[in-house]
Amino acid sequence: MKEKEGIFMQYDTLLFDIDNTLLDFEADESQALKRLFDFVGIELTDELHQKYSNYNKSLWQKLERNEITRDELLATRFSVFFKENFNRDVTDLNLNERYINYLSDGHDLMPHAAELLQLLKQNPAIRLEIATNGVPQTQYKRLKEAEIMNYFDQIFVSQEIGINKPNIGFYNYIENHLENFNTHRTLMIGDSLTSDIQGGNNANIDTVWFNPQHLDNSSSTQPTYEIDDLLQIKKLI
């Protein structure tokens, strides 16, 4: 619990991001990229992996700022990357679809994720929800194969909603689809300052920045709480 305006308030709705919050996207991305680059016939070095990860992250941040559409991101990210770095035309190889299939095979859990969900689910006063910008077919499969899907009452995926985090419309949709939703009793939990934390701030929802790598925050986006271990969430509710 936290003290707000002199009154102790308990959070009863927890909105969880997926990638690098509950599931280890870095590990899952690595295996998917390795298989994809093997298919193309190019060795995936650490330097190349980092270059793609930075490039892909920049595209998702553009999506968050409404500078590109999701369709544009998914349709062009590999064709542009391989053209710019290898002068290879891969437009006919359906690399994005292949990559999504590879990625959906990855379901590595973040440390203590399953333990936390088990503990939270024992409290009938708390409801757990998913709030993700990921690709639906990938996220559903990964949650199921990680054996954590059943912990959540609803799964809110931006592509299905038609609005991305951090847009306030994403959270308005959640509010309209959850009974007795109260922003003051809701927590948005995620690893992304630009998506999860800014989104929560936009919607006047308290936020938890999951920051296990102790990254510096030099931005104007400030979380309500910062943690480096998921089990620390227990102390906040």
- Write the CATH number for 14: 3.40.50.1000
Number of Cβ atoms within 10 Å of the Cβ of 119: 14
Q: Determine the distance from the C-alpha atom of residue 55 to the mean position of all C-alpha atoms in its chain, rounded to a whole number.
A: 17
Q: Which domain holds residue 57?
A: 26-104
Same structural domain for residues 144 and 48? no
- Clarify whether residues 151 and 227 are in a common domain: yes
Same domain? For 73 and 164 the reply is no
- Our answer to whether residue 108 is catalytic in this structure is no
- Mean local confidence (pLDDT), 39-55: 94
Of 104, 139, 169, the domain-final residue: 104
Q: Output the pLDDT for position 5.
A: 43
Please tell me the predicted confidence (pLDDT) of residue 7: 40
pLDDT over 70 at 1, yes or no: no
Q: The dihedral of CA 94, 103, 191, 143: what is its sign?
A: positive
Check whether residue 148 and residue 193 sit in a common domain.
Answer: yes
pLDDT of amino acid 6: 42
Would you state the pLDDT for residue 10?
A: 86
Q: How much is the average pLDDT of 210-236?
A: 96
Q: Are residues 76 and 158 in the same domain?
A: no
- pLDDT at 203 (0 to 100): 98
CA separation, residue 16 to residues 104, 130, 212 (Å): 19, 5, 16
Among candidate residues 134, 122, 1, the one with its CA nearest the CA of residue 60 = 134
pLDDT band at 9 (very low <50, low <70, confident <90, very high): low
Last residue of a domain, one of 55, 72, 104: 104
Say if residue 89 is in the same domain as residue 179: no
Phi, psi (deg, nearest 5) at residue 14: -115, 120
Tens digit of each residue's pLDDT (9 = 90 or more) over 169-204: 999 999 999 999 999 999 999 999 999 999 999 999
How many angstroms separate the CA atoms of 68 and 77, rounded? 12
Q: Which of 17, 16, 18 is nearest to 141 (CA)?
A: 18
Q: What is the DSSP secondary-structure string of the chain?
A: -EEETTEEE---EEEE--BTTTB-HHHHHHHHHHHHHHHHT----HHHHHHHHHHHHHHHHHHHTTSS-HHHHHHHHHHHHHHHHH----TTS-HHHHHHHHHHT--PBPTTHHHHHHHHHT-TT-EEEEEE-S-HHHHHHHHHHTT-GGG-SEEEEHHHHT--TTSHHHHHHHHHTSTT--GGGEEEEES-IIIIIHHHHHTT-EEEEE-TT-----SS---SEEESSGGGGGGG-
Give the CATH number, domain containing residue 95.
1.10.150.240
What average pLDDT does the segment 119-133 reach? 96
One domain for residues 198 and 117: yes
Same domain as 62, residue 120: no
Find the mean pLDDT for residues 72-94: 93
User: What is the number of domains present in the chain?
Assistant: 2
One domain, residues 71 and 36: yes
pLDDT in tens, 143-156: 999 999 999 999 99
80 and 96 share a domain? yes
Confirm whether pTM is higher than 0.85.
Answer: yes
Predicted pLDDT of residue 30: 95
The answer to whether 99 and 29 have CB atoms below 8 angstroms apart is no
In sequence order, the 6+-apart residues with CB closer than 8 A to the CB of 54 are: none
Do 84 and 187 belong to one domain? no
pLDDT in tens, 130-177: 999 989 999 999 999 999 999 999 999 999 999 999 999 999 999 999
Query: Which of 104, 126, 158 is where one domain is finished?
Result: 104
Among candidate residues 12, 17, 19, 228, the one labeled active-site is 17
Same domain flag for 123 and 225: yes
Q: Percentage of residues in the chain with pLDDT exceeding 70?
A: 96
Instruction: Give the pLDDT confidence score for residue 175 in this predicted structure.
Output: 97
Mean pLDDT of the chain: 93
**Residue 8 predicted with pLDDT over 80:** no
